[in-house]
Amino acid sequence: MGTTVQVMGFLGWVLLALIAIVPFVTARHRPWSHTNKQVTIQGSEDLVTELPGQPEVGFRHYAGYVTVNEKNGRALFYWFYEASIQSMEKPLVLWLNGGPGCSSVGYGATQEIGPFIVDTDGSGLKFNPYSWNTEANMLFLESPVGVGFSYSNTTTDYDILGDSFTANNTYNFLHNWFKKFPTYRSRNFYIAGESYAGKYVPELAELIYDMNKDPSLYINLKGFMLGNPETSDSHDWRGMVDYAWSHAVISDETHKIIQDTCNFDSNDTWSNISCRNGVDELLNQYKEIDIYSLYTSVCTNSTNSDNGSMQVMFNSKFKMMPRIMGGYDPCLDDYAKTYYNRPDVQKALHVSDGLQLKNWSICNYTIFREWSESRPSILPIYKKLIEAGLRIWVYSGDTDGRVPVLSTRYSLSVLELPITRAWRPWYHQKQVSGWFQEYKGLTFATFRGAGHAVPIFKPSESLAFFASFLAGETLPLER
């Protein structure tokens, strides 16, 4: 899998805040009809037909398990939405959230880019008019085992969770999923994700690229897209510190202490007491607001003890949970937890019989704390896959303090890629949506006024961005 991996012990403290979401308008669409017999056959046992509170839509969606290791009883839960229009002509996109330990169903599908958004009391769903399945067939995966509904019957599997384990299991999942949905095997395939998926996605892309040398295993991978991604630990830390200072979260004095005493390239960064104290002060200031969305409110009425907005969890490995936060309703995690722990919902998603329930949580903090393997940098994978000709787009919401735009700019600068289109604004609906720069082999863009989970803040803009990515087109240069 390329460069040497190291045990993750670098990112500091678990800092919890809550997500908010731009409210979406409920809409009704024509009911699904049996018009494509070729598709009806595949995956029919996983077809979702009676999801509680679901608005009527004109596309099919499927949910269930795919076994990735028969011997260990290891199975991953997926939720797949056909494209709402011309699904057989559109690409397949796998979406991954990070953590490690957080659910792509709970975040990506439920709060960001899926067609159904959980209502405020967890009793039903709203239609998302900016769902990415208007442009592609969207596949959401809860990975690795222990995340969401995914599981293993072998307890020792939970002791070896890490980047390589996750990539290999996701790769196995894809091949077994294609057995359920064979018409998608030759489809143009892309991977997208955010936060810690900044490591998941390139690692999976590299594995697919390497294994494609065997024609029998070929997956038609065309590229990947990442939002506010963890990329290079040392550069991510420098960017986080400089961003906090430049946005008046920490003082000049704290910034200078960290600059003078922290060697983020070292494997022994936290042995320096002055460095630790400086970073402690930075994190203490972020406790007062939402680190994932600097200018929005925090949830003050959370009933979930795991993600109380002012709670800080200490971790001896000095790590910080890179959760998916943001927007205008910072209590949405609670709604998702209520909805996915309903018996009728689990039965509709083919998770349980509706009697013996599974305990679903949006993030598994044990997985996060005990993660055994994480690459300190995935930049070597970027270089390899750029040379291979894959399409790579990276974007940053510019009000995120957790993996801020500076972290990504510092990381990408190491690649020293030639600039093919200089820094300039891009537009959506006659407004500046952000800025972007095109390099030889990579596009980098910002979203103006968006936090960590960009589609929550800028749903229409992010959908337009996604469409440009799939088409391989330059972002709009004029109003």
User: What is the set of active-site residues?
Assistant: 195, 400, 452
Indicate the helix (H) or strand (E) that contains 56.
none
Pick from 394, 395, 397: nearest CA to 381: 394
SS3 141: strand
CB atoms under 10 Å from CB of 261, counted, come to 16
Strands 151-152 and 74-81: antiparallel
Pick from 138, 143, 228: nearest CA to 190: 138
CA dist 301 and 195 (Å) reads 26
Provide the Cα torsion 345, 331, 170, 367; round to 10°: -110
> Which residues in 215-238 are b (16+ Cβ under 10 Å) and which e?
eeeebebebbbbbbbbbbbbbbbb
The Cα-based distances of 258 to 12, 255, 316, 342, 364 in angstroms read 14, 5, 20, 47, 31
SS3 382: helix
The Cα-based distances of 464 to 95, 348, 473 in angstroms read 17, 32, 11
CA dist 424 and 422 (Å) reads 6
Residue 315 falls in which region: left (phi positive, over 0), alpha (psi -120 to 50) or beta: beta
Is the previous residue joined to 182 through a cis bond, with omega within 30 degrees of 0? no
SS3 26: coil
